[in-house]
Amino acid sequence: MKMKIKNINLGKSKISLISIFFYLLTISTVQADDLDYFGKKIDIRILDKLSSKSKLLKLDIGENFSYKNLEIKVLKCKNSKFDDNPEITTYLQVKDSKNSNNDEVFVFNGWTFSSSPSIQVFDHPVYDLWILKCY
């Protein structure tokens, strides 16, 4: 009887260790998959409404970039996990150096969505921004 209980306990501990191993394995796989969706670079198209000229900007995440009187910094970008309708979500900070209102630090500071730019609007009298690609 003692041997049976010892074998049962040994079997329970093996099952527990195996289930913990597979749990940790699935967590690391999910985290690795999530990392694939965050980008290190981003493509933004900027339109000068006065001259009707547009320019493609290729920026690194975290880099400060000056375009005419705008200072653009992209803090994060993420691609959606769905292939049928790709969504790019980006956290942007934009400053206007010609803005005389010192109370307002950023012209835009927030999340933008490539498929729905009207949710968080970058509203500037001279420039428009579009998120094109996160990679």
Per DSSP, the three-state class of 27 is helix
The 10 Å Cβ neighbour count of residue 85 is 7
Tens of pLDDT, residue by residue over 19-69, are 665 566 565 544 444 445 788 999 999 999 999 999 999 999 999 999 988
Tens of pLDDT, residue by residue over 63-81, are 999 998 899 999 999 988 7
The full DSSP string for 30-86 is: HHHHHHHHB-SEEEEEEEETTTTEEEEEEEETT-EEEETTEEEEEEEEEE-S-SSS-
CB 67, CB 51: distance < 8 Å: no
Looking at 61-126, which runs of residues are DSSP E strands?
64-67, 70-79, 88-96, 108-113
Residue where the block lists tokens 């409404």: 49
Q: Where are the domains of the chain?
A: 1-37, 38-134
What pLDDT was estimated at residue 6?
Answer: 56
What pLDDT was estimated at residue 50?
Answer: 93
What pLDDT was estimated at residue 83?
Answer: 63
Read off the pTM.
Answer: 0.65
Q: Which of 14-18, 96-100, 108-112 is predicted with the least confidence, judged by mean pLDDT?
A: 14-18
What pLDDT was estimated at residue 4?
Answer: 56
Q: What are phi and psi of 34, to 5 degrees?
A: -65, -35
